[in-house]
Amino acid sequence: MLHLNLNALERTGTLQLRAACPAADFVLAGRGPELSGPVSVTLTARSMAAGQVMVQGRMSTTLAQVCRRCLEPVAQPFALPIRFVFVPDDEWDCQDDGEVHTFPAHLAELDIAGPLREEFALAAPMYVECRPDCRGLCPACGSNRNTVRCDCSPPDVDARWEKLRALTNH
Ligand SMILES: [Zn+2]
Ligand SMILES: [Zn+2]
């Protein structure tokens, strides 16, 4: 989906890449957040000295998560700045390192999708809260305490605090 034509880039010096990638390409089985829409990718590729390629821009999408406290669905916009340097492997004898990625020298097309997926997996938040003061679920009856006022007795820990308070008041 996200391929950079290196021959064209060498001719023009700069190339724009725009794509709406299917959410399924970024959802890692069982890990990381679900997405409620495609991932918009806007990148500028620049041809650098010694066959290196600089890719900069941003990716954005909407995360579809549930609040970690009350389990209500939360849709959250998410955007990430992107900066990669791709280096031909005959110029660089190290492993991929952070923003630096190697590719086989004399390659015709560079696949940007893999590095983008990695960036997304590292940066996307694992947890979300629907609001800073979410009151969560009642541990006794499971009601959403943001919307329901239940009559459950307070948990045991409160009773212990009461005894402690009684002792210290003497
Ligand atoms: Zn919540
Ligand atoms: Zn309750």
Q: Which of 18-22, 28-32, 56-60, 119-123 is the least confident region?
A: 28-32
| Higher per-residue confidence, 33 vs 28 | 33
Q: What is the pLDDT of residues 70-117, one digit of tens each?
A: 999 999 999 999 999 999 988 666 666 668 888 988 889 999 998 998
Q: Pick the ligand that lies closest to the CA of residue 129.
A: 1
Q: Which of 27-41, 58-72, 122-136, 138-152 is the least confident region?
A: 27-41
Q: Which of 13-17, 83-87, 119-123, 136-140 is the least confident region?
A: 119-123
* Per-domain boundaries in the chain: 3-123, 135-170
Q: Which of 14-18, 48-52, 157-161, 166-170 is the least confident region?
A: 157-161
Quote the ligand 1 centre to 137 CA distance (angstroms). Answer: 8
| pLDDT at residue number 84 | 94
Give how far Cα 77 sits from Cα of 46, 62, 150, 164, Å: 28, 4, 33, 46
Mean pLDDT of 141-166: 79
- The answer to whether 115 and 101 have CB atoms below 8 angstroms apart is yes
Q: Percent of the chain scored above 70 by pLDDT?
A: 85
| pLDDT at residue number 94 | 63
Per-residue pLDDT at 65 exceeds 70:
yes
Buried b (16+ CB within 10 A) or exposed e, 35-63: beebbebebebebeeebbbebebebebbb
Quote the ligand 2 centre to 38 CA distance (angstroms). Answer: 39
Quote the ligand 2 centre to 152 CA distance (angstroms). Answer: 4
Quote the ligand 1 centre to 76 CA distance (angstroms). Answer: 13
pLDDT-derived band at 46 (thresholds 50, 70, 90) equals very high
Quote the ligand 2 centre to 154 CA distance (angstroms). Answer: 9
Quote the ligand 1 centre to 78 CA distance (angstroms). Answer: 18
Quote the ligand 2 centre to 34 CA distance (angstroms). Answer: 30
Q: Pick the ligand that lies closest to the CA of residue 139.
A: 2
| pLDDT at residue number 80 | 96
